[in-house]
Structure 1
């Protein structure tokens, strides 16, 4: 991924929680593992943005990335984009079914959309493929 200083919704950028890197091995004997980081992003049009929350994940060959920044630098295949867990358009929510998860998502997505296109607190951005 490429770190950009300027937000352009047309480039489909992500803001990432750099403290959230997780390595999920399928088989410890393999030389690769799934790596995952939490992310938020905007989609839609510039005049009608939608705030999204979810993850970025891909398979990373050994050695495992030391941190989320290294993971992002080695993550080069963006054809699938982020895995969206929740989305807020200012009126409707789509995503989780558990009330406590919905509340957590909306606690981040509401101010994120209200402050469009600012990077939410605790996130690093903007990253794009």
Structure 2
């Protein structure tokens, strides 16, 4: 992934909760494979409406030249990871409607993060490290 200092919605960037990065790796011949996940938030726009999203980001690569330092979240994120699937959205807020969890406690947790995100667009929550993208320069 690439860490960027400037937010551009067209770059499909994610703000990641570094404390939630988990994963495993194993040798694959002369290379190494890694598979993991992290909690993340992101913005997307559809039909001119900006939405704040919360969910899980899949992190994986089958062809790493060296093993990753799994104790260093920035080292994991800075690896050549595959992001073809993007984030798995668990909740979304567009300023009027919430989509996502049906459990009131989870809905409240999501909205506690998503409402300020949309109000402070394009800021990332203080608990998340932004902005990361899978897209090349």
TM-score, scaled to structure 2: 0.80
> How far apart in 2 are the matches of 1:128 and 1:33?
18
> How far apart in 1 are the matches of 2:81 and 2:89?
19
CA, structure 1 residues 74+44, in 2 after alignment: closer, same or farther (shift >3 Å)? same
CA contact (8 A) 2:56 2:87 kept: yes
Pick which of 34-43 and 62-71 moved more: 62-71
Q: Any runs of at least 4 consecutive aligned residues in structure 1 with deviations exceeding 6 A, and if so which?
A: none
Q: 2:108 maps to what in 1? A: 103
> How far apart in 2 are the matches of 1:95 and 1:44?
17
Q: 1:59 maps to what in 2? A: 60
**Residue 73 of structure 1: how far off its partner (Å):** 1.3
CA contact (8 A) 2:41 2:52 kept: yes
CA contact (8 A) 2:101 2:107 kept: yes
Determine whether 1:118 maps to 2:123: yes
> How far apart in 2 are the matches of 1:64 and 1:37?
16
CA, structure 1 residues 74+93, in 2 after alignment: closer, same or farther (shift >3 Å)? same
TM-score, scaled to structure 1: 0.84
Q: 1:16 maps to what in 2? A: 16
| Structure 2 residues without counterparts, runs of 5 or longer | 28-32
2:98 alignment partner, one of 90, 93, 100: 93
| Structure 1 residues without counterparts, runs of 5 or longer | none
Relative to its length, the structure with more strand (as a share) is: 2
Aligned residue for 1:91, secondary structure, equals coil
> How far apart in 2 are the matches of 1:91 and 1:3?
31
> How far apart in 1 are the matches of 2:10 and 2:34?
31
Aligned residue for 1:76, secondary structure, equals coil
